[in-house]
Amino acid sequence: MTVPKNVLMLIAGLVWCAAGASVSRIGLPLLWRYGGSRPDLDALAFVVFLVFYMFVFSRLVGRHAARLRRDPASHLPMWAFFDARSYVVMAVMMGGGMWLRLSHAVPLWMIAFFYSGLGVALFSCGTRFLWAYVRGDVTSEPQ
């Protein structure tokens, strides 16, 4: 099944927002539980957010838009919103996160700030994909 290239930005945005909401659903309740006794966790969550948002995820929006813009086809398979490398990174991050939580290899207060910052960063970049869809970034020349 193929879709117009710009729709891939919509799909990516929805996937990233869903992933961010899912990760936040784990981290934020823990952060709220520990936050009263550990105010430093809020600051750590903010640092995690900034690092992932600024240096990892936000760059991906532009990179994927540019990749899709370069593709000469007007329609692509609906899974082509990511390249192979991004799918591998996503699988490693999901697998690693599940292993950390389920193995109890790290204390819950660490999960609290890390998942909170990571989840909000994922969701925020999901909104950037959605905004790229609204603007038609992959169907127009870069500005």
Please report, rounded to a whole number, the percentage of residues in the chain having pLDDT higher than 70: 97
List Cβ neighbours of 44 (8 Å cut-off, separation of 6 or more).
Answer: 113, 114, 117
Residue 67 belongs to a domain: yes
Asked if residue 69 is part of any domain, the answer here is yes
Residue 142 maps to a domain: no
Give the per-residue pLDDT at 143. 46
pLDDT band at 133 (very low <50, low <70, confident <90, very high): very high
Q: Which tokens hold the place of 108?
A: 């819950």
Torsion angle of alpha carbons 99, 104, 106, 111, nearest 10°? 70
Q: At what angle do helices 84-103 and 108-135 cross, to 10 degrees?
A: 160
pLDDT of residue 83: 84
Residue 38 is classified by DSSP as -
* 86, part of any domain: yes
Whole-number average pLDDT of the chain: 89
For position 140, what pLDDT does the model report?
58
Q: Please give the residue range of the domain that contains residue 32.
A: 8-135
Instruction: Quote the number of domains for the chain.
Output: 1
- pLDDT over 90 at 137, yes or no: no
- Is 80 part of any domain? yes
pLDDT at 141: 53
Among 88, 64, 73, smallest CA distance to 9 is for 64
pLDDT value at residue 30: 92
**For 15-44, what is each residue's pLDDT tens digit?**
999 999 999 999 999 999 987 778 899 999
In Å, how far are 20, 27, 75, 107, 140 from 134, measured between CA atoms? 20, 30, 17, 41, 12
pTM summary value: 0.88
Q: What is the pLDDT of residue 26?
A: 94
Residue 69 has pLDDT above 50, yes or no: yes
143 in any annotated domain = no
